[in-house]
Amino acid sequence: MPPIRPLSLITGASAGIGAAFARALAARGHDLVLTARRVERLETLADELRRKHNATVTVLPNDLADPAAPQQLCDALAQRGLHVDWLINNAGYGVPGTFESNSWTAHADFIQVLMTAPTELAWRLLPAMREHGYGRIINVASLAAHVPGSVGHTLYSASKAYLVKFSQSLALENRHLGVNVCALCPGFTWSEFHDVTGSRDMMNKLPGLMWQTAEEVVHQGIDAVEYGKVVYVTGRVNRIIKTLVKLMPDRLSLWLSARQSRRFRKLE
């Protein structure tokens, strides 16, 4: 049985999908631990959730690009006697440009944040979930995990595909112990993601039916993990795209990916 007030740890909670998860889970009666780099945004969100939902909200600023960050975060939880029931591995960003146009440091930080940190947090927090017989892990992946890689943003699709496969194995290993794991795969989502990567003008060329709000993504993601769905693509349009790409010959899907990359990816 779930606890009366589950505790949810949300990474990348300062904006976008992460902040939407915080609001949605607080509304469902969860207490929260919020982590991201931007302290002021976290504190503002925490104050909002305390006032609106009477939630206990702990702010633990951290930069997951630091290899020591996951352990430091879990140590801080242990020092406060906090047991995490829901882990939302949401922190992420994009690295514009082609592979060779970025430094190795940029790539290494990206791999740390998008792949290593969520894996380590799951490894560190999963044993207590198993012991308690209850837990939920949502790894925020992407529709990009289900379509060919692109020209530019070289590691993005690869990192999201990793999260999908990781989630599948983790779900199979733990569902008999009351721990549900879901790879949540949104498509284009209204947030500041494309502003940060400098691709907003290009993204604005896409038709409105391609977009979802962060709130829509989060609502579907919470339902998906509760229902035991292991991989969930949000939105009907995104599910159609996934199916069409799966049915296409690889040569055709790669050609389409290359063509669309030039239109919607910042390559420098």
Q: Where are the domains of the chain?
A: 7-264
93 a catalytic residue: no
Of 31, 48, 43, 22, give the one whose Cα is nearest residue 83. Answer: 31
Per-residue model confidence as pLDDT tens digits over 88-120? 999 999 999 999 999 999 999 999 999 999 999
CATH class, 7-264 region: alpha beta
Strands 211-213 and 188-190: parallel
Q: Is 130 helix (H, G, I), strand (E, B) or coil?
A: helix
How many angstroms separate the CA atoms of 248 and 135, rounded? 37
> 164-167: long-range contacts at Cβ-Cβ below 8 A with a sequence spacing of 24 or more?
164/231, 166/118, 166/119, 166/122, 166/139, 167/137, 167/139, 167/141, 167/230, 167/231
Question: Is 28 in contact with 4 (CB distance < 8 Å)?
Answer: no
Question: Is 115 in contact with 163 (CB distance < 8 Å)?
Answer: yes
Name the residue type at position 15.
A
Q: What percent of the chain has pLDDT over 70?
A: 90
Of the pLDDT bands very low, low, confident and very high (cuts 50, 70, 90), residue 206 is low
Q: What is the DSSP letter of 205?
A: T
How many angstroms separate the CA atoms of 26 and 48, rounded? 10
How many angstroms separate the CA atoms of 180 and 173, rounded? 10
Q: Given 93, 134, 156, 162, which residue is catalytic?
A: 156
Q: Which of 103-112, 181-190, 227-236 has the lowest mean pLDDT?
A: 181-190
Total-model pTM:
0.90
Structural tokens at position 127: 């044993």
pLDDT of residue 200: 46
pLDDT at 160 over 90: yes
Torsion of CA 245, 251, 252, 257, to 10 degrees: 70
Question: Is 25 in contact with 98 (CB distance < 8 Å)?
Answer: no
Q: Which burial class, exposed, middle or buried, applies to 105 when counting CB atoms under 10 A from its CB (0-12, 13-18, 19+)? A: exposed
